[in-house]
Amino acid sequence: MEQSAKLPKVFEPSPPLKRWSFCSESIFHLQSKTMPFLHYHQEMEVGLCVSGSGTLQLEGRSIAFEAGDVQVVLPLQQHYNVSELPNTVWHFISFTPGKLKSPHIKPEPEFLEELTRSCRTSGVFTAAEHPELVRMLTSLALSAVRNPTSAYDEDRLLLQTLDVLVKLGTLDSDQPVPDRTDLPTDKIMPGLILLSRAIQAGKSVTIADMAKACHFSQSHFRKLFLEAM
């Protein structure tokens, strides 16, 4: 990370899409044989594999995926996707479950809190094993990447998102969700964002750059980075 040479691209993101107020959606073309970038974030991430195949690395688990599969990554779960084919394309949607609302629909905070607590299942889901969930997530992903055509499209998208969360809350999981709320992630977030953008652009970033973005010394940044990551 201290070198200035260009790094291979991990993925090619679409231009920023800002159609919706409660979620962000993006299209990623994963490159084969790439450098994996283990990361986590405070939003829930759901995705649809449109084409290709590869592996999701999630909290120490290695889960294969192929076109038509969907994936769910809960907040604060460490993960990354590795592509096996050069034409692997994902549609991703990210949102904070406790902050879901649209112009005309504002769920009660207590309802969202309970809904968030009930969602404990993550990973890759196939149509053969979870046909209803795959159908719902596929519809959600395809709806999110379309341009809105009416004033109520965001309301419809919100209802689809809530339906997905309700469905996830009914699935049993033996995978514990880690609690990282006590880690100093927020303190080093400017550095993590700088690193993420550099990797997406195929560039490198130094420890000094990341520490400067956080207004820390290099030694203090290294300490916080190791604790958080």
What is the per-residue pLDDT across 170-186, written as a single tens digit (0 to 9) for each? 987 655 555 555 556 66
Given a contact cutoff of 8 angstroms between Cβ atoms, the answer to whether 70 and 46 are in contact is yes
What is the per-residue pLDDT across 128-137, written as a single tens digit (0 to 9) for each? 999 999 999 9
pLDDT reported for residue 183: 59
- Both tokens assigned to 58: 């999630």
Greatest Cα-to-Cα distance within the chain, rounded to the nearest angstrom: 52
pLDDT reported for residue 177: 52
With a cut of 70, which residues of the chain have pLDDT below it? Answer: 1-18, 31-38, 173-186, 200, 229
C-beta atoms surrounding 65 within 10 Å: 25
pLDDT reported for residue 176: 52
pLDDT reported for residue 17: 56
Q: Where are the alpha helices (DSSP H) in the chain?
A: 109-118, 131-144, 153-169, 185-200, 207-214, 218-228
Does the predicted model carry a pTM greater than 0.95? no
